[in-house]
A and B are shown apart, each in its own frame.
Chain A
Amino acid sequence: MASTHVDAPAQKHTLRQRLGRLDVKASPYLYIAPFFLIFGIFGLFPIAYTAVISLMDWDTIRNSGEFIGFGNFEYVLNDRKFWIAIRNTFSIFALSTIPQLIIATFIAAMLDHHLKAKTFWRMSVLLPYVVMPVAVALIFSQLFADEYGIFNQWLGMIGIDAVQWHKDPLASHWAIATMVNFRWTGYNALILLAAMQAVPRELYEASAIDGAGKLRRFFSITLPQIRPTAIFVIITSTIGGLQIFDEPRMYDTTGNGGADQQWLTVALHMYNTGWGELNFGRASAIAWLLFLLIVVFGLLNFWLTRRLVSSDKTEGK
């Protein structure tokens, strides 16, 4: 390759070649660069900045602070409210995500059948997602009022004692989880449905011939086949669930998470510390702790999902 008969055309050729190679190699980076540039400015920089602020006694108004090492983290980790917030966050997360995904998978499996007016059913499950979360919270707050709320009036009619939605921690978690589930179940069902529709129909036909029943087909074919999508849905639900903010903030009119921190979540605690107490150092420390928590929990869920939805079944794919 190196030895050439004529100089000029070879040079020309090399230049074009080089450009061509450069094009193939560099262009993709160029095309994705805007995203990373914007992510760098609006994503990475704030994250790093938050890390800096979390180590300072920060006055956001004068834009100055004093370096205090890990003092903010120490305070937050010793703060009783932070741990209650962690408890609440996981409780609400579990009460929302688990039933939500089970129901979403069920709905998706049902929608995957030959239904009449398919599009109508599919659009209908998405409808709650279109409603603004704040509006959802406002409506449900009325339904969940302790004394004169509709739910408690219904319970009263069938002779059950009123549930103290705004006093008992677990009851408040159920109420908030209900709002989350109302909003997200249909959305997740549609994503799972898309994955189910991509499952090759021959697999079902073959297994039917082999004598597999409906349930067997669902667990042995559908679930393993939609595994990548299921992982995606579970990870995004985890991130969303651990960051839950709108619903608990709107659950009562003070937005503080309850007088006894019954429904104070980590994100809400962070907001109250930052914007309520104007203590952005501590709020940044909470932000970082929440970030670490999500990373750890996201990885844990990823690992769990891979194990639970057995991987050997999908080997042939």
Chain B
Amino acid sequence: MSFTRRKKTLALTAGAAIFALTLAGCASGDEPEEGSTTDNTAEAGDGTSNEPVSLTIATFNTPGLSNSETDAEYEFDLIEEYMELNPHVDITYNRAAESGDARENFFTKLGPGGLADVEMVEVDWMPEVMQYSDLLTDLSSDAVEGRWVDYVEAGATDADGRLIGYGTDTGPQGVCYRADLFEAAGLPTDPAEVATLLEGDWDNFFAVGDDYVDATGSAFYDSAAGVWQGMINQLGTAYEDADSGEIVVLDNPEVKALYDQVTAASETQSSHFGQWSEDWFAGLSNGAFATMLCPPWMLGVIEGNAPDTTDWNLANVYPNGGGNWGGSWLTVPASGANIEEATKLAEWLTAPEQQAKAFANAGTYPSQVAAYDDPAVTGAVNAYFNDAPIGEIFAERAEAVVPSPFKGEFYFQVNDAINNALTRVEEGTDDPAASWEKAVADIEAIG
């Protein structure tokens, strides 16, 4: 169903492998000290008899946890490492190719049982999972208090304050831009100068876009929908009321104002290509647009689809503050037979040390605060993006992200309706007003 869901899926699969290759070199020198991991092992040994136990863990895409995910060898196989540290534990690692497959499996088995002991959940379907948070184990403990950046922890905390997921990776966004196209438009090309140029709110971003369009006659950013997800996630309340759960989007002037703003700007500034369409992929290399909102995993997508383009760069800036796109959690279904051991495994895998290794493996950017001080993360540079210090940039971008607005039962249906409205305008099927009316009709029919 969801636009974003499939986007993310495709992107991750396409991008992760390339991203991993770029990063492998950077992280090898400075591995975290083994001391931190031994603490965890000692902890794991406490209190429980070390009776043999079999655990299953189900993930999707390439989270960088096990060599079985990839044809190439990862630098670290975390699943193997855990089994070595805890000889009584035997882990079966299952991975779905796509997030959508994992979601279907998750919801098929959540009720009747049959899920893995540890299940990975993606940010796109987390709001749906949250409605069934009582079927998942409360994982909160003193040991993990404050481990993640706020918005990641908030995203997995239900209305009763139960923490049902341990964050793995996250997607804080910067702005990717084409230096050659910026130069042709008479705009600055140095990442620091571009960051200064784009520093400010969305008005400023679109004003720069106008300058670019005036100078070159071609599009500034890739798509209205791409910008939309950046804008909508910065609102306090977007589509639904956090207390009542009712759909309030049609009475929310902020949403309509953003819609008007983005459709007005997109008329000239957007390339009008739907994200992940064939045309959009072609646009990554042929200069059809000059900027994109960029989470870490997007770097691999760009590199993979525009291998011969040398001028992509990354600016440490994001309009109107921060924004997150993508990310996952590990959950422990309450119906599992080994909840205690499963929780330990999930806790270990999502510890900063391990996620720094996963980042080195597959480029999945950690959501743990402590990882942002880890030289293996902060030292990462991306050669394709003209040696952008991505580790440092994304650590700063993550700290700028504010918790996204409340996303309840109807989030995806409303979001789809509005995304469709934006796409209709982009495609020229409807004008912005008529397209909004259709979205209103769709939203009124929900429920």
Contact = CB atoms under 8 A, between A and B. Distances in A.
A145 B429 contact: no
A264 to B, nearest CB: 11
A166 B277 contact: yes
Contact of A142 (B111, B278, B412, B420): B278
B104 interface: yes
B279 A147 contact: yes
Closest 10 CB pairs of A and B: A276-B1, A259-B423, A145-B278, A253-B276, A147-B279, A259-B420, A61-B111, A148-B282, A167-B427, A259-B424
Contact of A278 (B128, B282, B427, B438): B128
B427 A166 contact: yes
B324 interface: no
Contacts of A278: 107, 128
B88 interface: no
Interface stretch (B3-11, B147-155, B313-321, B374-382): B3-11
A303 B423 CA distance: 43
B428 interface: yes
Interface in A238-256: 252-256
Interface of A: 60-63, 75, 79-81, 141-142, 145-149, 164, 166-167, 252-256, 259-260, 272, 275-278
Contacts of B438: 260
B423 to A, nearest CB: 3
A5 B200 CA distance: 114
A234 to B, nearest CB: 34
Nearest to A168: B429
B416 interface: yes
Nearest to B438: A260
A141 B276 CA distance: 12
Contacts of B286: 148
A61 B427 contact: no
B6 A254 contact: yes
Contacts of A259: 419-424, 427, 429
7 contacts: A79-B445, A145-B282, A164-B427, A166-B427, A254-B6, A255-B6, A259-B421
B380 to A, nearest CB: 29
Residue in A79, A141, A142, A146 whose Cβ sees the most chain B Cβ within 10 Å: A146
Interface in B189-245: none
B104 A275 contact: yes
Nearest to A169: B429
Contact of B429 (A146, A167, A253, A275): A167
A237 to B, nearest CB: 29
A167 B429 CA distance: 7
A276 B420 contact: no
Contacts of A141: 278
A161 to B, nearest CB: 14
B430 interface: yes
Interface residues of B, number: 39
Contact of B416 (A149, A256, A260, A275): A256
A148 B430 CA distance: 23
B277 A253 contact: yes
B336 interface: no
Interface string B406-431: 00000011001001111110011110
A135 B178 CA distance: 33
B111 A60 contact: yes
B187 interface: no
Residue in A63, A75, A253, A259 whose Cβ sees the most chain B Cβ within 10 Å: A259
Contact of A167 (B112, B412, B422, B428): B428
Contacts of A63: 111-112
Nearest to B112: A63
Residue in A61, A80, A145, A146 whose Cβ sees the most chain B Cβ within 10 Å: A61
Given A259-B429, A260-B424, A277-B412, A253 B10 contact: yes
A275 B2 CA distance: 10
B132 A146 contact: no
B400 interface: no
B279 A148 contact: yes
A275 B108 CA distance: 10
B7 to A, nearest CB: 7
A260 B104 CA distance: 25
A252 B1 contact: no
B107 A272 contact: no
B53 interface: no
A147 B273 contact: yes
B299 to A, nearest CB: 19
B420 A148 contact: no
B433 interface: no
B110 interface: yes
Interface in B264-281: 273-274, 276-279
A80 B444 CA distance: 12
Given A147-B279, A147-B282, A259-B424, A277 B429 contact: no
Given A254-B3, A254-B7, 14 more contacts: A61-B135, A145-B277, A145-B279, A146-B279, A147-B273, A166-B427, A253-B10, A254-B6, A254-B274, A259-B421, A259-B422, A260-B427, A275-B1, A275-B104
B10 A260 contact: no
A81 B286 CA distance: 36
Nearest to A63: B111
Nearest to A149: B278
A254 B2 CA distance: 7
A272 B282 CA distance: 28
Contacts of A164: 427
Contacts of A256: 1, 3, 416, 420
Contacts of B423: 259
A276 B2 contact: yes
A148 B2 CA distance: 25
A260 B279 contact: no
B1 A277 contact: yes
Contacts of A148: 278-279, 282, 286
A308 B129 CA distance: 55
A252 B274 contact: yes
Contact of B7 (A142, A167, A253): A253
Contacts of A80: 441, 445
A149 B430 CA distance: 23
A149 to B, nearest CB: 6
A60 B422 CA distance: 32
Contacts of B7: 253-254
Contacts of B413: 277
B229 to A, nearest CB: 13
Contacts of B128: 278
Interface in B158-185: none
A146 B279 CA distance: 7
B57 to A, nearest CB: 21
